[in-house]
């Protein structure tokens, strides 16, 4: 008996709420009709409604606290290949901080992302940076493009072909996640073979 009473009361409350919704909708429609009939200028649109455009992303250049680009100092004559690899790791760290992942794709796609062709249009490397060759590749101190291999979303392997300028040879220098392979003894900081 108690179950039947509960079901009847619940049904009555449901009907009351449905009727209330219809009354509110009817009153709103009636009010709108009365307002527009008393002042037709409310609905008289003389100019077409313009679409609101989505704001365009503004390209901005990443600068460190010192006002320099993260890639400044790459291939500096007073530096070393180890310093260059550290600079590139820092560059990828800046990118990861913004996008929560490394840039990915081919070598060209990775560099294009760093040049500002990314979702937020952030420029990590200025297009006129001296560490870019004519093909917009990031080059090592011997003029050979670095090779980038995304190991995971937050770990990038960076490889320099070394003084012999041949990638995948014994004198290649690489860094993964801040740890680099030991430089060959025959290489000096300012070698230009």
Q: Is 43 exposed, middle or buried (0-12, 13-18, 19+ CB in 10 A)?
A: exposed
- Residue 51 resides in a domain: no
- Residue 157 resides in a domain: yes
Q: How far apart are CA 105 and CA 150, in angstroms?
A: 8
Residue 187: C-alpha distances to residues 82, 146, 156, 178, 190 (Å):
11, 17, 24, 20, 8
pTM, to two decimals: 0.62
10 shares its domain with 79: no
Q: Is 155 helix (H, G, I), strand (E, B) or coil?
A: strand
145 shares its domain with 92: yes
36 shares its domain with 94: no
- Residue 21 resides in a domain: yes
Range of the domain at 13: 2-42
Q: What is the pLDDT of residue 188?
A: 43
68 shares its domain with 35: no
In tens, the pLDDT along 138-157 reads: 999 999 999 999 998 889 99
16 shares its domain with 67: no
pLDDT-derived band at 193, boundaries 50, 70, 90:
very low
Q: Which residues pair with 13 in a beta bridge?
A: none
Residue 156: C-alpha distances to residues 37, 50, 92, 147, 177 (Å):
67, 46, 8, 10, 6
Q: What are phi and psi of 29, to 5 degrees?
A: -65, -40
- Residue 166 resides in a domain: yes
Q: What is the pLDDT of residue 70?
A: 81
- Residue 50 resides in a domain: no
In tens, the pLDDT along 45-79 reads: 555 555 555 555 556 666 544 567 788 899 999 99
């Amino acid at each position: 008996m108690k179950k039947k009473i509960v079901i009847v009361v619940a049904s009555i409350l449901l009907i009351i709420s449905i009727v209330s919704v219809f009354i509110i909708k009817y009153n709103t429609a009636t009010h709108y009709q009365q307002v527009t009939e008393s002042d037709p200028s409310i609905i008289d649109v003389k100019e077409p409604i313009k679409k609101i455009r989505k704001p365009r992303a503004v390209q901005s250049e990443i600068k460190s606290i010192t006002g320099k680009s993260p890639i400044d100092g790459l291939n500096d004559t007073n530096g070393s290949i180890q310093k260059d690899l550290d600079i590139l790791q820092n560059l990828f760290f800046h990118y990861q901080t913004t996008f929560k992942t490394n840039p990915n794709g081919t070598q060209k796609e990775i560099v294009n992302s760093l040049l500002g062709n990314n979702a937020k249009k952030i420029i990590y490397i200025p297009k006129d940076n001296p560490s870019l060759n004519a093909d917009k590749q990031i080059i090592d101190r011997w003029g050979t493009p670095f090779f980038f291999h995304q190991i995971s979303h937050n770990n990038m392997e960076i490889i320099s072909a070394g003084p012999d300028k041949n990638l995948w040879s014994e004198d290649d220098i690489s860094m993964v996640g801040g740890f680099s392979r030991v430089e060959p003894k025959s290489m000096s900081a300012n070698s230009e073979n």
